[in-house]
Structure 1
Amino acid sequence: MKSLSIDLETYSSYDLQKCGVYKYAEAPDFEILLFGYSVDGGPAEVVDLACGEEIPQDVIDALTDDSVIKWAYNCQFERVCLSRYLSDRGVILDPFYDRHELSTEMARYLNPECWRCSMIWSAYMGLPRSLESVGAVLGLEEQKLKEGKDLIRYFCVPCKPTKANGGRTRNLPAHDPDKWDMFKKYNKRDVETEMAIQKRLVNYPVPDFVWDEFHIDQEINDRGIMLDMDVVTNAIDFDERSKSELAEAMQELTDLENPNSVVQMKQWLADNGMEVDSLGKKEVAAMLKTAPPKLAEVLTLRQQLAKSSVKKYQAMQNSVCADNRCRGMFAFYGANRTGRFAGRIVQLQNLPQNHIPDLTQARSLVKCGDYEALELLYENVPEVLSELIRTAFVPKPGYKFIVSDFSAIEARVLSWLAGEKWRMQNFAEGGDIYCATAERMFHCKVVKHGENGELRQKGKQCELSCGYGGSVGALKAMGALEAGMQEDELKPLVDAWRSANPKIVEFWWDVDRAVMKTVREHVPTRVKNIRFSWKSGMLFIMLPSGRQLAYVKPRIGENQFGGDCVTYMGVGGTKKWERLESYGPKFVENIVQAISRDILMYAMKTLRCCSIVAHVHDELIIEADKRMSLDAVCEQMGRTPPWAEGLLLRADGYETDFYKKD
């Protein structure tokens, strides 16, 4: 046996969407109902475990045999569920983690190194991540059966007790044999569909080094990150108590039946002389600047009530495993345009920042459950709880966190690609890129908190908005008007930034012409160290790392201005498979973000044995022995990959006893 294709149907009383597969598979009533499989591409078989059938011994042996490659669509689910199934039966999962001298937190899971994921393969090719959507896009004969969702709802999750079902809380095969037979067909079809995807993509294999990156991702997900459950549970209790007090205060002030109701609140404000279209965060903040005292008090309470930070704590509570670690928070190739990671469950990528100076004190009050002291010292309890979310993540006892991140990674990569020498010189000298940009834009010396220091903010706004072709709209989206800039100065600012960065502007349009030529004439082109090619109805962009970006069914279309542009099929903002429009600066954005992702992966590889427990954008969080050197970690992380000669990187970091934004 060389390969095994697998698909499982399972039951658990835990909600998979809320808790993730690691917690899901810990449920006392978890079980595998159906085990669909194929050996070496042969006919798909289904083992009906729910009705007493047993998985053949040679297949059981193959699950722990590193020489047998296991395939599944979203294989993390199958691997974690089978880990529980096998360990319940006394099977030693794998000595893999001992060989790598990695943490015992991971020893409960099957070795990820001998697993491959056809969902990752699909994402690598620019296809959707859902099995049903991939089958439809590829036009497979063996498509996922559409009855599946109803069957999963019937057999895989608890049901409500009713008179009609005799008060039972779970549907078993005997309760509807016809549905059960259909469920087995569905399970078999999923195995066939997954194998059909592999056959269709066989000429476009995922490089071995990308599979290695995937295995690092699986190791990080298996290891998980520890939660301080005292902080989590007390924060949820504090939030409930605070919301109750705030709602009571709002009711007293407004006499509304439901102060949380947007409709009622809008009407109350209108009755009190303030017509509003929206009660969104930005709109309420703007209204507070001019509102009379009574209305300002109500709007402030409204702001506090609208804080949704408790949802993060609830996600932690839902997903925490028996050993107080949260697992499965990272989706490899979550963004299939660039290959960047996406967040899952708690979503570390969008945590609120912390700004309160006495963070440790506030955290200790929540940890010990002293609500009265917290309320006394901090007038806005929901805001404090929001700022403490990061601090719920802690290293295991006796360890510390080392947090290290890249300095201005995208700006450095863009400057290197475009050959914008003045910027690279600034990075080499350790200068402030926002001051340097402002100096080039305004032709004067700019010093942070010093000479012409007010211009630095404009340089920063332009740096964050204009690198990928952004204009006035991008500046507004980045908060230029809220920062005090005037509408009529935005276009001159964009022009000044572009004049200061001529090589970057030239790079945008060189890429635009190269992509156009490749798509129109089906010929390979190159811009510096980026190569473009067309093959079998696909546009490929070869990055310096050797990884490719894929764009499905590219063609020349017409943009909103009536000119030519490149369009391709992809998952758009509506989450639907649709034709998307792009142009030079947008392709440059994809390229820069993809290379930044490859640099992060290079750092993960070099720090693989340092117990990485999480990563957020361009930042790594390491659960470190107290003796581990912060400087050594930052030096290692800041090393330039061999494929990026001339790129100047820098990583900065800090040590902490709980996660925070330093």
Structure 2
Amino acid sequence: LRKMETLTALDNPNSVQQLKEWLADNGLKTETLDKKAVAELLESAPTPLGEVLILRQQLAKSSIKKYQAMENAVCSDGRARGMFQFYGANRTGRFSGRNIQLQNLPQNHIPDLEQARALVRSGNFTALEMLYDSVPEVLSELIRTAFIPEEGYKFIVADFSSIERVVLAWLAGEKWVLDAYSAKKDLYTATASQMFNVPIEEINKKSPLRQKGKVADLACGYGGSTGALVAMGALEMGLTEDELKPLVNAWRAANPRIVRFWWDVDRATLKAVKDRTITETHGIRFSYESGMLLITLPSGRRLTYVKPRIGTNQFDSECVTYEGVGGTKKWERIQSYGPKFVENIVQAISRDLLCFALENLKYYSIVMHIHDEIVIEA
């Protein structure tokens, strides 16, 4: 921050408005200073402005703010509590992260992690600045190391592998995915093999085909198309815009039962709301009761959608709408359709599997859990 103050002479260089005005005064106009915008500006910014933008990137790292959250949350015994909110995600029932927000901890890739940690713990920031290009980046990568077990204990971590992909395939009956999973095959490699009709043995983890299979798997499972691929970084990984639609088509052709599942669910929800009746598909029950659309999961738990009714989507087709907290964080009428309901169903079942595992491990000291992962102290 001091370096930013020196370079810009601003009272508060951390202020987005002040920094935007300073950049504009120096010939670099921008509407926003979000992560993507700063990265684009850096491509053409002259050296002095580029240095300021790099510092802005470092200061804006939200992960570093977790250290302050740790200080605020830690109890007198050195433990942090209240990290998870039960049923925080109202559509699926998944847990939400609170306080330190353990559900988005940055990964660490520093080869000399122990040395970096020792320097920070000793307060030797001069050496830290000499040895590493970016101190904020180092601090970000050290966040996971701030969580330590009680003396004489260790953390034991276990997680479900590719949980959403497998649950989706199980519900839809996409047998080749389940076979690949049972055989302990890499699912991104298996997806690429299925999409491009290439023997799985000819695709390795560094193969461009695997990368295409991976980004398609991540983007297309819930009806995503070219926009979802872009959001998942398809263009940044080297794909051209002309390649995106064929990639979507190839994924859907490789997963016909999943595609069919989307629209079976779409028809089931429409019929349940329109006729105020009970429908069922793929082992999932849909019913209209007391002004609610209820989706009954295999566990017996029910997802609830308030005041559902039939609306018209942007394609002039019928769709289900309901009331809830939308993207604006306000109560509003939300439009939905088959693939989106499928996403809710899959994530809800994945959550139920996590809760089943938590119940099975209840006699152990569970200290945290993140979507598909449980950490015990033993």
Q: 2:229 aligns with which of 468, 475, 478?
A: 475
Q: Distance in 2 between matches of 1:341 and 1:305?
A: 29
Structure 2: gaps of 5 or more residues: none
Give deviations 1:185-222, integer Å, cap 9, x for gaps. xxxxxxxxxxxxxxxxxxxxxxxxxxxxxxxxxxxxxx
Q: Distance in 2 between matches of 1:533 and 1:267?
A: 55
Q: Secondary structure at the match of 2:158?
A: strand
Are 1:329 and 1:344, in contact at CA under 8 Å, matched by a contact in 2? Answer: yes
Q: 2:179 aligns with which of 425, 436, 446?
A: 425
Note if 1:259 corresponds to 2:16. no
Q: Secondary structure at the match of 1:608?
A: coil
Name the structure 2 match of 1:448.
204
Which amino acid in the other structure matches residue 423 of structure 1?
V
Name the structure 2 match of 1:20.
none
Note if 1:622 corresponds to 2:370. no
Task: Give matches, 1:201-600, under 5 Å.
Answer: 243-244=1-2, 246-248=3-5, 251=6, 253-445=7-199, 446-449=202-205, 453-600=207-354
Q: Secondary structure at the match of 2:328?
A: coil
Larger Rg: 1
TM superposition shift of 1:611:
0.3
Q: Distance in 2 between matches of 1:294 and 1:613?
A: 46
Are 1:247 and 1:305, in contact at CA under 8 Å, matched by a contact in 2? Answer: no
Structure 1: gaps of 5 or more residues: 1-242, 625-662
Are 1:524 and 1:533, in contact at CA under 8 Å, matched by a contact in 2? Answer: yes
TM-score normalised per structure 2: 0.94
Give deviations 1:475-512, integer Å, cap 9, x for gaps. 11111112221112111111111111000000000111
Q: Distance in 1 between matches of 2:50 and 2:165?
A: 41
Q: Secondary structure at the match of 1:399?
A: coil
Are 2:83 and 2:100, in contact at CA under 8 Å, matched by a contact in 1? Answer: yes
Q: Secondary structure at the match of 1:458?
A: helix
Which deviates more from structure 2 when the two are superposed, residues 520-529 or residues 269-278?
269-278
Give deviations 1:85-128, integer Å, cap 9, x for gaps. xxxxxxxxxxxxxxxxxxxxxxxxxxxxxxxxxxxxxxxxxxxx
TM superposition shift of 1:418:
0.4
Are 2:168 and 2:346, in contact at CA under 8 Å, matched by a contact in 1? Answer: yes
Q: Distance in 2 between matches of 1:264 and 1:278?
A: 12
Which amino acid in the other structure matches residue 530 of structure 1?
I
Which amino acid in the other structure matches residue 247 of structure 1?
M
Which amino acid in the other structure matches residue 496 of structure 1?
A
TM superposition shift of 1:532:
1.2
Q: Distance in 2 between matches of 1:267 and 1:578?
A: 36
Which amino acid in the other structure matches residue 124 of structure 2?
D
TM superposition shift of 1:608:
0.9
Which amino acid in the other structure matches residue 434 of structure 1?
Y
TM superposition shift of 1:257:
4.8
Give deviations 1:537-572, integer Å, cap 9, x for gaps. 121111111111111221111112211001112222
Are 2:4 and 2:52, in contact at CA under 8 Å, matched by a contact in 1? Answer: no
Structure 1 pair 449/592, CA: closer, same or farther in 2 (3 Å)?
A: closer
Q: Distance in 2 between matches of 1:606 and 1:373?
A: 47
Which amino acid in the other structure matches residue 564 of structure 1?
E
TM superposition shift of 1:267:
4.0
Q: Secondary structure at the match of 1:324?
A: coil
Q: Secondary structure at the match of 2:271?
A: helix
Name the structure 1 match of 2:357.
603
Q: Secondary structure at the match of 2:332?
A: strand
Structure 1 pair 255/313, CA: closer, same or farther in 2 (3 Å)?
A: closer
Give aligned pairs, total.
376
Which amino acid in the other structure matches residue 4 of structure 2?
A
Q: Distance in 1 between matches of 2:53 and 2:336?
A: 41
TM superposition shift of 1:308:
3.5
Q: Distance in 2 between matches of 1:263 and 1:545?
A: 50
Give deviations 1:170-196, integer Å, cap 9, x for gaps. xxxxxxxxxxxxxxxxxxxxxxxxxxx
Are 2:193 and 2:203, in contact at CA under 8 Å, matched by a contact in 1? Answer: no
Q: Secondary structure at the match of 2:191?
A: helix
Structure 1 pair 372/326, CA: closer, same or farther in 2 (3 Å)?
A: same
Q: Distance in 2 between matches of 1:490 and 1:534?
A: 38
Structure 1 pair 522/290, CA: closer, same or farther in 2 (3 Å)?
A: same
Which amino acid in the other structure matches residue 303 of structure 1?
Q
Q: Distance in 2 between matches of 1:428 and 1:593?
A: 21
Q: CA RMSD in A?
A: 1.7
